[in-house]
Amino acid sequence: MLGEVDGMRRLPIVIGQSEAQSIAIHLQGLKAPRPLAHDFMIDLMTTFGISLREVYIYKLEKDIFYSELHCCRNINDIRTIDARTSDAIALAVRTNCPIYIEESIFNATSVVFNPENVMQQATKIPMSQESIETASVEELQKRMQEAINIEDYETATKIRDEMKKRNG
């Protein structure tokens, strides 16, 4: 879940389990007994004097985000490298570099996070697959926002998939 600086909007991005685990391990301050792939990449970049300046999410096509790494060896040698968004985020978390998102993508796909409702919504029971399939579109939209607010991305993804199925 990416959030805007000084704002209430959040951008949910579904990523793979290994990338999510890699990000979580780093954010929790844990250290794997051997370097994880993203740790190895940072070590490799550091060894050769390459720094990650920023991550840029520049395109969304068929529910796939496209990203670039903007790396440099010195101020005049900036290189752009195509990357999977999940890997780019995992590297950005490790280097504390900014993540930029094309404004049109953020406007089209972000949701508003309301922290005042989080505690109230956290006590709600997740929707079953059956209740997702029988709920109205309005109820699905409401429940998807609630799931995102409490960071229940599994339920949010199921709801999103049902809404897509209904829209053809």
What pLDDT digit, counting tens, does each position of 84-121 carry? 999 999 999 899 999 999 989 888 888 887 666 554 44
Place of tokens 């998807």: 144
E-state strands within 16-167: 51-61, 64-72, 78-84, 99-101, 111-112
CATH number (2.40.160.60, 2.30.290.10, 3.10.690.10, 3.40.50.2300) of 2-109 reads 3.10.690.10
pTM of the model: 0.66
pLDDT, mean of residues 130-157: 78
- Sequence ranges of the domains in the chain: 2-109, 114-166
